[in-house]
């Protein structure tokens, strides 16, 4: 089944403790992206990647890192999480990035205390 898989679904952590949210897609998509979704603010892009070893900042990149060492994986790294990063995170992929639809994972609910 074609899908985007992100883990974990739920994560509670404390301020400053490094964490990684994994994302994997099995559709051989070139483009991958991370979003956060907050009430009243909608979906905002954090980082995106057009291909392996190519990443770029989205609208809200501060406090996040990403890497794209393999085509299928695009982990999101929070080196020192803070409470303002409490949010619902979505990973997505698409064939090209600009003229094909995004396929989303089911989200990761992160709480930073």
Partner 1 sequence: GESVGLHLPTLSVQEGDNSIINCAYSNSASDYFIWYKQESGKGPQFIIDIRSNMDKRQGQRVTVLLNKTVKHLSLQIAATQPGDSAVYFCAENNEVGGFKTIFGAGTRLFVKA
The residue ranges that bind partner 1 (CB under 8 A) are 4, 31, 33, 37, 39-40, 42-43, 45, 48, 50, 56, 58-59, 88, 90, 92, 97-99, 101-107, 109
Distance CA 95, CA 88 (A): 24
- Closest Cα partner for 89 from 35, 33, 19, 42? 35
Q: Which is nearer to partner 1, 53 or 59 (CB)?
A: 59
Contact 68, 53 (CB under 8 A): yes
Q: Which is nearer to partner 1, 6 or 78 (CB)?
A: 6
CB of 107 to partner 1, least distance (A): 5
Distance CA 100, CA 86 (A): 30
CB of 73 to partner 1, least distance (A): 17
Cβ-Cβ contacts under 8 Å for 97 (sequence gap 6 or more): 30, 31, 33, 48, 50
CB of 5 to partner 1, least distance (A): 11
Q: Which is nearer to partner 1, 59 or 70 (CB)?
A: 59
Distance CA 48, CA 33 (A): 4
CB of 34 to partner 1, least distance (A): 12
């Amino acid at each position: 089944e074609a899908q985007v898989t992100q883990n974990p679904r739920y994560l509670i952590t404390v301020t400053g403790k490094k964490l990684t949210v994994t994302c994997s897609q099995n559709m051989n998509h070139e483009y991958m992206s991370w979003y956060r979704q907050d009430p009243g603010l909608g979906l905002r892009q954090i980082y995106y990647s057009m291909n392996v070893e190519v990443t770029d900042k989205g609208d809200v990149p501060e406090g996040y890192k990403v890497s794209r060492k393999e085509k299928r994986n695009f982990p999101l790294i929070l080196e020192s999480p803070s409470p303002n990063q409490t949010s619902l995170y979505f990973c997505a992929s698409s064939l090209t990035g600009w003229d094909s639809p995004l396929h989303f994972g089911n989200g990761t609910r992160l709480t930073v205390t």
